[in-house]
Amino acid sequence: MKLKIILPILVVLFVFVACGRKKQTVMPTNKDITESVYATGIIKSKDQYEVFSKTVGILKKKFVKEGDHVKKGDKLFEIDNANSRLFTDNARVAAATADYATNLDKLNDANNLIDLAKKKLKTDSLLYIRQKNLWDSNIGSKIDLEQRELNYENSKTAVASAQVHYDDLKRQLRLSSNQSKNNLQMAVTNEEDLIIKSDVDGVVYQINKELGELVMSLVPISVVGAEKEFIVELAVDEYDIAKMRLGQKVLIRMDSYKNQVFEGSVSKIDPMMNDRTRTFKAEAIFVRKPDVLYPNLTAETNVVINAKQNVLTIPRNCLVNDSTVMLDNGDLQKVQTGLMDYTLVEILNGITSATKLMVPQK
C-alpha cells in the first residue's frame, strides 16, 4: 500500500524539476575572434646567465656587489685554490728545464758522436781499400782483409746508429719542450680561471656566495644580465608547439602590472622538448614593455595563432561535441567550425545567424 502512494509522489517531483529547467537558447552572432596558445612565462634579462667557477676553491674576494653595473671582461670574483698555484709553479719549472734551447748541448754532443763515427768510417774505409789492393797483389793474409772489411762495416753501422740517436734525441727534446710549454699554458689558464670575469655588459642581479664559502663548478655564484633589455621565456605545451611560428604576436600579463596587457612577438623557439616537463622553451621580446622590469617576474601569455574579424560565432558551450550543435527543437545539427578561443567558436557552415540554438545542460 505504501509503495502505491510513493510512486505518484516521485513522478510529480520529477515533472516539477523537469519543468523548472528552462531551455536556454542563443543565436549565432558576428564577432571578432582570436585563436591563441596559452603559455606560462618568466621575465629574464637579455643575455642573462648564471656565473659558475671553473675550479673548486674558496671565495677569496668580491669585486662587485648586487646591483653594480659591469662591462664585459670586468672582474667579478677571485677564487683561492692553493693546488692550482702550486701546479702552475711546477709547470713553470718543468717548462724551463725542458726548454729546447736549454738542451741544445745534448744535441751538440750527439752531433759530435756522428762526426767521430764518420771519421772512423773514413779511416776504416781507407784501410779496407788498402788491404784489398794488397790482397789483389797477393800480399798479406785473407784474415787481415776480412778484419779490415769487418771494421769498415761496423763503422758504417756506427754512423747510421749515431744519426738515428741524434734524430730521436732531437724529436724527444722538441716533444718534451712543447709538452711542458702546453702544460704551463694550461696551468696559467687554470690559474687565470681563479679570477672570474663578466661575459656581458650589464648588471649583477644576484650573488649567492659569501667570502670564505666553498665554490664548486656545479653551483652558480651569481646572476648577471643586461640592465634594460628583457625577454619573456615561455614554456609551451607539446600539444601547442606545432602552431608556434617566429614573429607571432604575444599578449603578456604580469601580476606586477595587474589589468595591463603588454605586446610582444615570438623571437625564438627551441627545437628540443624538455622530457621532464613535456614542454618546449620559446622566447618573446617586448614590442611594448613596462618602464620597470626585473628578472624572474612571472607572466602569463597568449600567443596569437590566428585572428578574424566579423565572423559568425557561437558560444563554445553550445557544441555538443566538436562538430555538432543542438537546435531549439532538440534536433542535432552538424556544423563546420573554424577558429576557437576560450569562449567562442567560429562557424563556417551548417547554421546561419537566424538559427536558434539550445545550450546543452551540463
What pTM, to 2 d.p., does this model score? 0.60
Please count the other Cβ atoms lying within 10 Å of the Cβ belonging to residue 190: 18
Residue 254's SS3 state is strand
Joined grid coordinates for residue 225:
644580465
To which residue does cell 761496423 refer?
154
Q: Give the per-residue pLDDT at 198.
A: 95
Give the pLDDT mean for 242-262. Answer: 92
* 183 pLDDT above the threshold of 90: no
Q: Give the per-residue pLDDT at 362.
A: 63
How do 57-62 and 214-215 pair as beta strands? Answer: antiparallel
Q: Give the per-residue pLDDT at 5.
A: 43
* 82 pLDDT above the threshold of 90: no
Q: Where are the domains of the chain?
A: 49-80+194-222, 87-192
Closest-CA residue to 95 (of 186, 192, 193, 189): 186
Integer CA distances (angstroms), 160 to 151, 232, 287, in order: 14, 73, 79
Q: Give the per-residue pLDDT at 115.
A: 94
Give per-residue pLDDT as tens, 296-308: 999 999 999 888 8
Q: Give the per-residue pLDDT at 22.
A: 60
* 357 pLDDT above the threshold of 60: yes
Fold that domain 49-80+194-222 belongs to in CATH: OB fold (Dihydrolipoamide Acetyltransferase, E2P) (2.40.50)
* 346 pLDDT above the threshold of 60: yes
Give the pLDDT mean for 221-228. Answer: 92
* 184 pLDDT above the threshold of 60: yes
Q: Report the C-alpha gap between 153 and 163 in whole angstroms.
A: 16
What is the spatial order of strands in the sheet that 57-62 belongs to? 195-197, 75-80, 57-62, 214-215
Q: Is 87 exposed, middle or buried (0-12, 13-18, 19+ CB in 10 A)?
A: middle
Please calculate the CA angle 8-12-13 and round it to the nearest 5 degrees. 120
| CATH, domain 87-192, list 2.20.25, 1.10.10, 1.20.120, 1.10.3470 | 1.20.120
Give per-residue pLDDT as tens, 263-309: 999 999 999 999 999 999 999 999 988 888 999 999 999 999 888 89
